[in-house]
Structure 1
């Protein structure tokens, strides 16, 4: 899977919504991992990064893109 800058921005927004406060978000491992990734994408002008180019913390932080928000579940099929 490839991640574009908009995916990283979406992950940052998702973790921000889940954090209890701005301070909690800023201190989280996810925020630090995504900040490093976001900065690298901007500095190096990458259009997208492949999953294999990420470290484990970055990959874990991006998993929020496929995880429903807390209190939300996927629609059930009846």
Structure 2
């Protein structure tokens, strides 16, 4: 009977690895697709939106810095 529990651990491990390797972009796409189908029953993914917004703001700031400041340094 105990032999079946070993294979279950592998499945849980695979699910965990899959979840860990999922990027915020993947999670945001999935959340957006789900929201289109059933907006009234899904919870708002506030932390995911905040992380994505912060990453976007950082990319914009980095881009602006490179455009505005690097020509002055060269």
Q: Normalising by the residue count of structure 2, what TM-score does the alignment of the two structures yield? A: 0.34
More strand by share: 1
Higher helix share: 2
Normalising by structure 1, we get a TM-score of 0.33
Q: Which has the larger radius of gyration?
A: 2
